[in-house]
A and B are shown apart, each in its own frame.
Chain A
Amino acid sequence: MSHDHTPTVAPTYSIPVGPLHVALEEPMYFKIDVEGETVKHVGINAGHAHRGIEYLTTKRTIYQNVVLTERICSLCSNSHPQTFAMAAEKIAGIEVPERGIYLRVVADELKRIASHIFNVALLVHLTGYETYFMHMMQVREICQDTLESVFGNRQDIGAMCIGGVRYDVDEKSIAYILAQLARIEPEVRDFIKTFKSNGTILRRTKDVGVLTHANAITCGVVGPVARGSGIDYDVRREATYAAYDRLPLMVHTQTDGDVWSRAMVRLEETITSIDLVRVCLRDLPGGDAHIHDRPDIPPGQAIARTEAPRGEVFYYLRTNESAQPERVKWRVPTYMNWDALRFMLQDAKVADIAIIVNSIDPCLSCTER
């Protein structure tokens, strides 16, 4: 009697993840070659949310583009019009009033708080810790309420304009924002404690999806993905703008480059953002929040950069004699961060794919425009 001893070799096959997938929020298509449960090769197929917005910007006037750029993406919706406006201001030599630049920081940091908590909450959701996910989203809701109360909108807050901001705060709204921040801060401190101690979260995020410091430099990644791999770079400090040179900005880094490190950078940055808003509202200069005319933007070209929640946003603007820009080009942080996934997913377990993809805080509508 003979037994058929087939050698037990892990089968090699390809699995599609996306473009529509329960664990991905956005339509990216990964072609993943696996050996058993282990990822061996990652193919990235993009283009499912390509809308031709770069072309559209050349058909709108420069002032209309402040509105259009805000609609590229919802989570960093404030960073796009701000960076675009900064480029236009550079070409036209417009100086934003002091109060305006402080209010720009307030809007930007409030959006960052909402964005960071949202991403880390989704990570917790993907680890299967649903009650804590719901709790975190409830805390993020305090921030969303604040945005809605101060700006009139939860996502596209319409705060930016060329030459300043379109909103202003008074004593009552300052007191309200400070009270809301006082509610959020202890909760975020609790999130940090939980992330350092909770076994469910630690087991799913520590040493998972590692991007080494060297690979982070090779990929040119930015934002919390870079800082999680020990790259000490933040546009707010390195290429400072608005009022950041006068604010107590702390740049947080981690060294392990895993999913946990990137989440921890985001949580610590949330605390820093809360501090920045407080200092801005305390030191808020009087006067105008924006310039009072609508100057023509002369022919020229300029670049501008800001630190969006996901990292460096880079704008190029070229104008000519007409009211429409000749070329607008921008690059969002996620553009490079996708490629870094190839390193993070190498030899990862299939079950961790969604967690690792989420850890770059991907933004597809920004990437493809």
Chain B
Amino acid sequence: MSRLPKDLEARIAAVAPSGVDFSTETDALGVTTVWLGLGNHAELRPVADLILELGGRLAMITCTQPSAPEEEEEDEDEDNEDGEAKEPEPKEVAKSFGGTPLDGTSYEIDYHFDIAGDAVTVVAFVPHGGAIASLTPLFRNADWHEREMMELYAINVTDHPDPSRLFLDASIDNAVLERLIPFSTLVNAASTKDLWDRIAANKKGAA
């Protein structure tokens, strides 16, 4: 008893010619959840247009960097040692639906929509260093989500009306979730001694 249009999959497919990975489930209480992977992230805008037309509300945007699928452990050839070094076989990188390499650096962006109580999540795969179109012109509340995404990850959102920082100060490099920031650095004290050295240096400078 989904409240979504019955021909949702066909209508999405009509605006996303590169293909969609469509799955749907309805729970015991009758709430439907749809997952909709895009074959090509450039088709996000027409799909979002359609969802807006269906009265959808943007609920959340999640950006993640899916970890690379674990490699199957290969048996090491022990008699290889005295032989010539084997040419390393080209590694097969797993790919997402649509062919974005899942190498641990690419992004998966999930656009969670609500249509009359049912949830539709549009999934776009973007390679590292790639860009995705802004949905802010369609859904005003995409603004903060996209700004937050740009400071947490090295991802570009094109045509964002105000790509300024949301939570992080402009002096901090972006992509904070992509690198290790030791807690001591985060709180501005690499070590107890460093902090006091800095204070002492400042004091001298002031004198």
* Chain A residues within 8 Å of B, Cβ to Cβ: 46-47, 50, 52, 54-55, 217-220, 233, 237-241, 245, 303, 305, 312, 314, 316, 318, 320-321, 326-327, 329-331, 335-336, 338-339, 368
Q: Contact check, A50 vs B67: say whether CB atoms are below 8 A apart.
A: no
Q: Of B70, B141, B145, B177, which one neighbours A219 at CB under 8 angstroms?
A: B141
B140-177: which residues lie under 8 A (CB-CB) from chain A?
Answer: 140-141, 143-145, 165-169, 176-177
A316/B60 contact (C-beta < 8 A), A47-B166, A245-B29, A339-B141 known: yes
Residues 29-67 of B, flagged 1 when their CB comes within 8 A of A and 0 if not, give 111010000000000000000000000011110111011
Secondary structure dominating the interface of B: mixed
Find out whether the CB atom of B31 lies under 8 angstroms from the CB atom of A240: yes
Q: Pick the contact of B60 from A219, A237, A314, A338 — CB < 8 Å?
A: A314
- B139 interface residue (CB < 8 Å to A): yes
CA separation between A50 and B147, bound complex, in Å?
A: 14
In the bound complex, residues from chain A placing their C-beta under 8 Å from that of B177 are: 54-55
- Decide yes or no whether B128 CB sits under 8 A from chain A: no
Q: Is the interface of A mostly helix, strand, loop or mixed?
A: mixed
B103 at the interface (CB under 8 A from A): no
If A50-B167, A220-B139 touch, does A329 touch B186 (CB 8 Å cutoff)?
no
**CB pair A335 B64 closer than 8 Å:** no
Let me know if B100 is at the binding interface, CB within 8 A. no
Check A331/B166 contact, CB under 8 A, given A303-B121, A316-B110, A326-B67.
no
The 3 residue pairs across chains A and B that have the minimum distance between CB atoms: A238-B117, A47-B167, A220-B141
Q: Are A320 and B33 in contact (CB under 8 A)?
A: no
Q: Judging by beta carbons under 8 Å apart, are A218 and B140 in contact?
A: yes
CB neighbours of B200 from chain A (8 A): none
Contact (Cβ within 8 A) B29 A303: no
CB-CB < 8 A to A321: which residues of B? 70
**Residues of chain B with a CB closer than 8 A to A335's CB:** 141, 144
Q: How far is the CA of A99 from the CA of B167 in the complex (A)?
A: 41
Question: In the bound complex, how far is the Cα of B186 from the Cα of A55, in angstroms?
Answer: 13
The answer for the CA separation of A83 and B179 in the assembled complex, in Å, is: 28
Contacts of B141 in A (CB 8 A): 219-220, 335-336, 339
Task: State how many angstroms separate the Cβ of A158 from the closest Cβ of chain B.
Answer: 26
Cβ of B119 under 8 Å from chain A? yes
B116 within 8 A of A: yes
The complex places the Cα of A237 from the Cα of B143 at a distance, in Å, of 28
Query: Which residue from B58, B117, B144 sits with its C-beta under 8 Å from A239?
Result: B117
B9 within 8 A of A: no
Q: How large is the interface on B (under 10, 10 to 19, 20 to 34, 35 or more residues)?
A: 35 or more
Distance A238 CA – B119 CA, assembled complex (angstroms): 11
B63 contacts which chain A residues (CB < 8 A)? 329
Interface pair A46/B60, CB less than 8 Å apart: no
B29, B59, B67, B167 — most chain A CB neighbours (10 Å): B167
Cβ-defined partner of A327 (8 Å) among B29, B64, B112, B121: B64
Since A220-B59, A241-B29, A339-B144 are in contact, a sample of 9 more A-B pairs with Cβ atoms closer than 8 Å, ordered by chain A residue number, is A220-B140, A220-B141, A239-B114, A239-B119, A241-B31, A321-B70, A326-B67, A329-B63, A331-B145
With contacts A50-B168, A339-B141 taken as known, whether A329 is within 8 angstroms of B60 at the C-beta atoms is yes
**B140 lies within 8 A of A47 (CB):** no
**Whole-angstrom distance between the Cβ of B65 and the nearest chain A Cβ:** 8
Considering only CB atoms, which chain A residue lies closest to B164 in the complex?
Answer: A45
Specify the chain A residue showing the minimal Cβ separation from B152.
A54
Minimum CB–CB distance for A227 against chain B, Å:
14
Q: Is the CB of B62 within 8 A of A52?
A: no
The answer to whether A240 and B140 touch (CB under 8 A), given A52-B186, A329-B60, A331-B60, is no
